[in-house]
Amino acid sequence: MTDSDLAESQLRSLMRDPDMTRRGFAVASLATGFAMAVRPVSAQTITTDTTGIVAGEVKIPVADGTVPAYRSHPATGKDWPTVLVIQEIFGVHEHIKDLTRRLAKLGYYAIATELYARQGDPSKYTEIPKLFTEVVSKVPDAQVLSDLDASVAFAKSEKANTSKLGVTGFCWGGRQTWLYTAHNPAVKAGAAWYGQLAPRADRPAPAGVVNPIDVADKIKGRVLGLYGGADEGIPQTSVEAMREALKKAGDTKTKIEVYPDTPHAFNADYRPSYRPEQAKDAWAKMLSWFKQNGVA
């Protein structure tokens, strides 16, 4: 079962809990290193140092308590453009932390909030299907959107420039990137890496579940989609359907880049799916997209 298969399955079993205030918090602090489900990590894994930046764990005040997050920003100055970094299904483990450091080296305030904090600790699971069933599938979209709003408020409290707001996410976080951009009109630009776009013909989503294709009219030209042409969990029919929905909504600016013969999770340098050439090109396109749309 691939990550994108799991993300699609999430749409089938997503629990929506309208009373988040009664839930406890399963995760008070971020895990160290990589999630158990992805070990051993690849020799190609990129590690970004903290020279010239401030990086570490913080606590984000939310409606029902606090959730942990990892944030990085330049060591000097303030008023940095802000980028929300949305996790894969494995939570905010070392790869996601490293992505925030890479962005900080480029002058951004980047923050990755642990969006499963109430449901469980993804770092402890060794089996991806069990992680999905027991944690990921129980995370409501409403909770995610609310926690991301809180993350923006926290960034502002740390003197980041949230009027220059970007968002990027990977797999599970790729889908959430589309949804958050539709949710928050203050987002200037988003970069969605291989996130589900629409229900598959063989896996219809249950009633009430929102897919990126359902909010195409709210994207308003702000998202760059980055996808692999050989992604078994996200068929090209879904990509074409999303393009058509954007066109129907009058959106001529949003772009979806597809890398031929490229698998899911091609930016995950700690996994066998990593494709350095495509990842480097997509990262450069994301940075250019941010700059073109006021996140710089």
pLDDT (tens digit, 9 = 90+) per residue, 247-287?
999 999 999 999 999 999 999 999 999 999 999 999 999 99
Domain 3-18+26-292 has CATH 3.40.50.1820: yes
How many CA atoms does the CB half-sphere of 146 hold within 13 Å? 18
**Active site residue ranges:** 171, 231, 264
Nearest of 257, 289, 267 to residue 81 by alpha carbon: 289
- pLDDT confidence bin for 206, thresholds 50/70/90: low
pLDDT (tens digit, 9 = 90+) per residue, 62-104?
989 999 999 999 999 999 999 999 999 999 999 999 999 999 9
Q: What is the per-residue pLDDT for 160? A: 98
